[in-house]
Structure 1
Amino acid sequence: MLLGSPSGATADVGSPDNYLITKPQYALSYSRGRGIPNWVSWHISREWLGTADRQNDFRADPALPEGWYRVSASSYRNQSPGLQI
């Protein structure tokens, strides 16, 4: 990453609440305990913009370590505010 990891995240399963995931398009620090990213970083340029409409196509990330909970599109339905997974 050009500017480094702001939280010191690493791709070490021993750091489940600051786990670094890198993709060609972005990088993020994932919190297994909360089931959400701590932060996400990406580079946006005009060349990446297209004409497709926004899609409602959420999918769990199959790259998460084996045994980790994979958030699904239905994971956040009918939950009370502040309730964590």
Structure 2
Amino acid sequence: MLSREELLKMREMTFEDIDPKEIQDVEKLKIDVKKSKPEKVREILESGKNPYFLKYKGITIKIGFASTNRTIEEAMQSLVQMKW
């Protein structure tokens, strides 16, 4: 399993820092929905791959998390309601 220090280093990585071959493809991820949230997180961390980067249809995506209790659904709703 990844250590806290390894995770912190991975979080700070940029697109230039990461090896594209080491990025997980979302379409190939197999997540057992019957497992609890902590079990799912543990499984991802045990893979040894950087959890902050994913690939979807050939596009590399970096994921970030804010220090807030707001859910992704609430954040998306706020974006939809914004006036441009």
TM-score range, shorter chain: under 0.3
Q: TM-score, normalization: structure 1? A: 0.25
Larger strand share, 1 or 2: 1
Higher helix share: 2
Bigger relative contact order (CA 8 A; separation at least 6): 2
Q: TM-score normalised to the size of structure 2?
A: 0.25
